[in-house]
Amino acid sequence: SGEVPAWLGGLAALQHLDLSDNALTGDLPDSLGDLKDLSYLSLSKNRLAGSVPEAMSGCTRLAELHLRGNQLSGSIPDAMFDVGLETLDMSSNALTGVLPSGSTRLAETLQWLDLSGNQLTGGIPAEMALFFNLRYLNLSRNDLRTQLPPELGLLRNLTVLDLRSSGLYGPVPGDLCESGSLAVLQLDGNSLAGPIPDNIGKCSSLYLLEHGAQQSDGTDTGGHGGAEEAGDSTAGG
């Protein structure tokens, strides 16, 4: 219990720090940004509050950052999207503001992004289509209020796309499965209109499709409520 001690920032050689599943409270200290060799940081499932300090972008070797299940608020610092992260999990907090567009460096490294269960607004940046190594993208349970960008179909390594209850509206893009790698597509709980495009039915790797009842008229617009299999094969096919 207690707060995350500021003196941790003085452990210059620290590479792995896991303080998850405790009862830590208070703010994240700026001194964490002094850990230049840190590659893994997990503070998930605590009671941390306040904002994510921009100073944490000083962890230039950080590959995995796990802050899931706290009470963090404020916006995500743009500088955090300049670090060469491979995994970023800030789900189940109270973060607000817009999604940072990210940097060229992050586009080359990021493989796992989970920002679900926050209060993010402002849509999905078009630059996200450049995150070619992204395998898992979960922006569900936010208030994005945007149309589903067809550019997401360019993510050739994306296997899981979870956008449930995120304020989406408009049609489902036909080329959403253009890459052929998508295995899980979850879109239920939005205000999407029109049928599920036939092109998605040709996605041979897709084994879980959740479209569900849409909020706009209370009916299922494609007849694909719940989980359905697309094609004859499972993931990896």
Who wins on pLDDT, 100 or 162? 162
The identity of residue 92, as a single letter, is S
User: What backbone torsions phi and psi does residue 226 show, to the nearest 5 degrees?
Assistant: 75, -155
For the chain, the structural domain boundaries read 2-228
Q: What is the model's pLDDT at position 66?
A: 98
Question: What is the rounded CA–CA span in Å between residue 157 and residue 108?
Answer: 12
Bridge partners, residue 41, by sequence: 17, 65
User: What backbone torsions phi and psi does residue 215 show, to the nearest 5 degrees?
Assistant: -75, -20
Q: What is the model's pLDDT at position 163?
A: 95
Q: What is the model's pLDDT at position 219?
A: 38
Q: Which of 96, 94, 95, 46 is nearest to 66 (CA)?
A: 46
Q: What is the model's pLDDT at position 206?
A: 86
Out of 31-45, 63-77, 161-175, which region has the weakest mean confidence (pLDDT)?
Answer: 161-175
Q: Which residues contact 62 (CB under 8 A, 6 or more apart)?
A: 38, 39, 40, 41, 56, 83, 84, 85
Q: What is the model's pLDDT at position 192?
A: 92
Bridge partners, residue 95, by sequence: 74
Q: Which of 218, 213, 221, 208 is nearest to 188 (CA)?
A: 213
Percent above pLDDT 90 for the chain: 67
Q: What is the model's pLDDT at position 4?
A: 96
Calculate mean pLDDT across residues 131-158: 93
For residue 16, the surrounding DSSP H or E stretch is strand 16-18
Question: What is the rounded CA–CA span in Å between residue 59 and residue 55?
Answer: 8
Q: Which of 115, 75, 111 is nearest to 92 (CA)?
A: 115
What is the value of pTM for the model shown? 0.88
3-state secondary structure string across 40-65 = EEECCCCCCCCCCCHHHHHCCCCCEE
Q: What is the model's pLDDT at position 11?
A: 97
Question: What is the rounded CA–CA span in Å between residue 107 and residue 84?
Answer: 8
CA 177 centroid distance within chain = 18
Q: What is the model's pLDDT at position 199?
A: 83
Q: pLDDT tens-digit profile of 147-162?
A: 998 889 889 899 999 9
Q: pLDDT tens-digit profile of 162-218?
A: 999 999 999 998 888 887 789 999 999 999 998 888 888 777 788 888 876 554 333
Tokens representing residue 102 in the block: 């990210």
Mean per-residue pLDDT over the chain, rounded: 87
Q: Using 50, 70 and 90 to split pLDDT, how confident is the model at 221?
A: very low
The identity of residue 88, as a single letter, is L
Q: What is the model's pLDDT at position 101?
A: 86
Q: pLDDT tens-digit profile of 49-61?
A: 999 999 999 999 9
CATH class for domain 2-228? Answer: alpha beta
